[in-house]
Amino acid sequence: MGKIELQGVEKSFGKVDVIKDVNLSIEDGSFVVFVGPSGCGKSTLLRLIAGLEDVTAGKILIDGTDVVDTPPAKRGLSMVFQSYALYPHMSVRKNIGFGLRMAGRPKAEIDQKVESAAKILNLTQYLDRRPGQLSGGQRQRVAIGRAIVREPKAFLFDEPLSNLDAALRVQMRLEIAKLQDTLGTTAIYVTHDQVEAMTMADSIVVLNAGRIEQVGSPLELYNRPANLFVAGFIGSPKMNLLGGQSAAPFRAATIGVRPEHLRVERNGSGTWRGRVSVAEHVGSDTFLYVQVDGAGEITVRAPGEVGLKPGDIVGLTPEDGRIHRFGDDGRALAA
């Protein structure tokens, strides 16, 4: 079991408030991703749950028990660090088995559990090597092995893939998601990469400046961002946000349209008319940066290959029902 609840959690370092009144409920077995720009407090929040930092105020409940005064060792959670944080003086076998050894489990049980974890993670042939003799991906697997072997209530991942190269990152992302699904253990995953967040999460928590901006499934955040921050943060390329006279006809202070929800008319007719300044051809899509008078630069994602070049005049029309409206306070307005 691993239901985690945060109630009014606050954290200050001296006079700096890093986490401000966070309330959150994480269901048992779910994969929750904390995402946000650097410095938003997502890692701090994870460390508070882990017990590596003490809360300034509030409660952290694990399966209904307040753990704020419980040391990390006793919370029954395991953590995978960005730097892997393996014990350099121990073999892979000892690294993975360290938690069980600390718990005073019998040697036979440790051996058996380490072997089975190594099998799941394809580490069997490396069990007697030291971390220094492994590649980045293998080290990351050892760190994951160390986390799963203890059968924790929840896994905490602190940007575990950011030290890996792009190809390996995609592969490990898939492996972690599959593994969590098989084990059915609650996971909290911190990342600044919104693609990781979108692809892995059951539920995404968007954090900004120590506060939760929105909680929801990846598609909820994509389709119904609660405010300007989430609208701009989720989605790649970023949502186009237009204010002033462009937004006025829609009775909003700001409107947002995702690049993939704009139709391009070659004859220049449409809601907005502008000149293509840059055209990026990536094969599957074409990204157009269109300079529109009075509205600024609008990004368009057109599927496939589009024969447009810089200087061409185009018309842009948003798809029906794909316009997001925001009020003066930055919050989304009802459709």
Partner 1 sequence: MARRVSPTYKIGITAVAWVVAFLIFFPILWMIITSFKTELDAFSTPPKFLFFDWTVENYAIVQERSDYVRYAMNSVILAGGATLLGLIIAIPAAWAMAFFPTRRTKDLLLWMLSTKMMPAVGVLVPIYLVFRSLGLLDTHIGLIIVLGMANLPIVIWMLFTYFKEIPKDILEAARMDGATSWKEVVFVLAPMAVPGIASTILLNVILAWNEAFWTLNLTTLNAAPLTAFIASYSSPEGLFWAKLSAASTLAIAPILVLGWFSQRQLVRGLTFGAVK
Q: Which residues bind partner 1 (CB under 8 A)?
A: 50-52, 71-74, 77-79, 81-89, 98-99, 102-103, 130-134, 136, 139, 146, 150, 156, 163
SS3 letters for 133-155?
HCCHHHHHHHHHHHHHCCCCCEE
17 Cβ contact partners less than 8 Å away, ≥ 6 residues apart = 10, 11, 210
Nearer to partner 1, 85 or 120 (CB): 85
Q: Report CA 246 to chain centroid distance, whole Å.
A: 32
Nearer to partner 1, 101 or 263 (CB): 101
CA distances from 328 to 226, 227, 244 (A): 13, 11, 11
- Whole-number minimum distance, CB 154 to partner 1, in Å? 11
CB-neighbour burial class of residue 275 (10 A; exposed 0-12, middle 13-18, buried 19+) = middle
- Whole-number minimum distance, CB 141 to partner 1, in Å? 14
CA distances from 320 to 61, 73, 246, 288, 317 (A): 44, 53, 16, 20, 9
- Whole-number minimum distance, CB 90 to partner 1, in Å? 8
Nearer to partner 1, 85 or 177 (CB): 85
Nearer to partner 1, 95 or 240 (CB): 95
Nearer to partner 1, 167 or 335 (CB): 167
Nearer to partner 1, 74 or 331 (CB): 74
- Whole-number minimum distance, CB 45 to partner 1, in Å? 16
Nearer to partner 1, 18 or 50 (CB): 50
- Whole-number minimum distance, CB 163 to partner 1, in Å? 5
Nearer to partner 1, 100 or 262 (CB): 100
User: Which tokens sit at 78?
Assistant: 């395991």
Q: What is the C-alpha separation between 306 and 66, in angstroms, rounded? A: 57
Q: What is the DSSP letter of 221?
A: H
Of 178, 200, 198, 199, nearest to 188 (Cα)?
A: 200
- Whole-number minimum distance, CB 26 to partner 1, in Å? 18
CA distances from 111 to 41, 101, 197, 262, 274 (A): 38, 10, 35, 58, 67
- Whole-number minimum distance, CB 311 to partner 1, in Å? 46
CA distances from 55 to 37, 99, 189 (A): 22, 25, 19
- Whole-number minimum distance, CB 78 to partner 1, in Å? 6
Decide the pairing of beta strands 186-191 and 31-35.
parallel
Q: How far is the first Cα of the chain from the last one, in angstroms, to the nearest whole number?
A: 39
